[in-house]
Amino acid sequence: MFENILVAVDGSGRSREMINMMLAMPSLSRSQITILHIIPVGASSEGLTEYRLAGERILEKETASLKLSDNQQVTSLLKEGDPKSVVCKVAEELKPDFLVMGSRGLGRIQAILANSVSQYVFQLTEVPMLLVKDDVYIRSIRNVMVALDGSEKCLDLAIALMSGYKDGEISLLRIGKKRDSGEMANDEVMESAIAKVKRSNIPYRVYMRSGDQGKEICKAAEESNATLLLLGSHDRRPNVARGLPDLDLLLGKSVSDYVRVKATCPVFLLRIPG
């Protein structure tokens, strides 16, 4: 059960579209949705007033458009400051089950140069993060693909999300290094995942691939018509640098960064100790 969801909005509507698709799922039937909008700093007092009025209108529009059931509630939150820092701070304070954010889907270097909010927050927050690119088509959540990495964290989240949802299924994806089909068929990670999803009584499919992980994950998600992709992102930052972005990851050396940019469906990213 997901009881506390944080949705950061900028007026574009992509995050709103995604959360509306998810609100119909039984696992979100009693959720408290917090809609967050941030107005920039550095404006004159007159300009700040205009930003606040515009922000209030955005929040009013976003909250009014949510398709809530009787047991779901929404709260709006207007903050002022640097969007990157504010989203991280609010996420730390509220400790939501997950955070929904829009993303322009910029490439690796472009995201850094453009001061991408979603890229920054993705690196620093410990909260599971659902990224919705501006150029992806938002569809009803039917086929959730899980890229298996052995941690089971993504699979556990997928099972919790799809629990009680009669129209959904889980696609289990395993990218192996060897091309021998026999060896891949005996993959222990996949066998464990199949046993777990069977116990949950959720329909499932199995996809075994080999090759470049990022490319194969994106290809499998597109070919299987996945409506949501779950992926673990290993945290390689040393303890002394938990408050700083991982430059290696920002430069795009990770699988999660590649998938974040290239996937043709929304991507659910979970931080995994590594």
Q: What burial class does residue 199 get, using C-beta atoms within 10 Å of its C-beta: 0-12 exposed, 13-18 middle, 19+ buried? A: exposed
Mean pLDDT of 196-202: 95
Q: Which of 8, 19, 42 is nearest to 161 (CA)?
A: 19
CA distance 98 to 95: 8
Closest CA to 133 of 265, 270, 268, 269: 265
Residues in contact with 139: Cβ distance below 8 Å, sequence separation at least 6, in sequence order: 21, 227, 265
Are 84 and 117 within 8 A, CB to CB?
Answer: yes
Residue 13's DSSP bridge partners are none
Closest CA to 81 of 37, 35, 41: 41
User: In which band, very low, low, confident or very high, does the pLDDT at 63 lie, cut at 50, 70 and 90?
Assistant: very high
Contact 241, 205 (CB under 8 A): no
Between β-strands 98-103 and 129-133, what pairing exists: parallel, antiparallel or unpaired?
A: parallel
In whole angstroms, give the CA distance from residue 146 to residue 170.
7
Cα separation, 6 vs 37, whole angstroms: 11
Q: Is the dihedral of CA 266, 223, 260, 152 positive or negative?
A: positive
Higher-pLDDT residue of 103, 260 = 260
Both tokens assigned to 155: 């699979």
Condensed to tens digits (0 to 9), the pLDDT of residues 1-24 reads 799 999 998 877 678 889 999 999
Decide if 187 contacts 208 (C-beta within 8 A).
yes
Query: What does the H/E/C string look like for 2-63?
Result: CCEEEEECCCCCHHHHHHHHHHCCHHHCCCEEEEEEEECCCCCHHHHHHHHHHHHHHHHHHH
pLDDT tens digits for 92-118? 999 999 999 987 654 444 443 334 687
Split at pLDDT 50, 70, 90, the class of 49 is confident
Is residue 245's pLDDT more than 70?
no
Q: What is the pTM of this model?
A: 0.86
Which is higher by pLDDT, 118 or 179? 118
Kindly report the average pLDDT of the chain as a whole number: 83
Read off the pLDDT of each residue in 125-146 and give the average, rounded to a whole number: 90
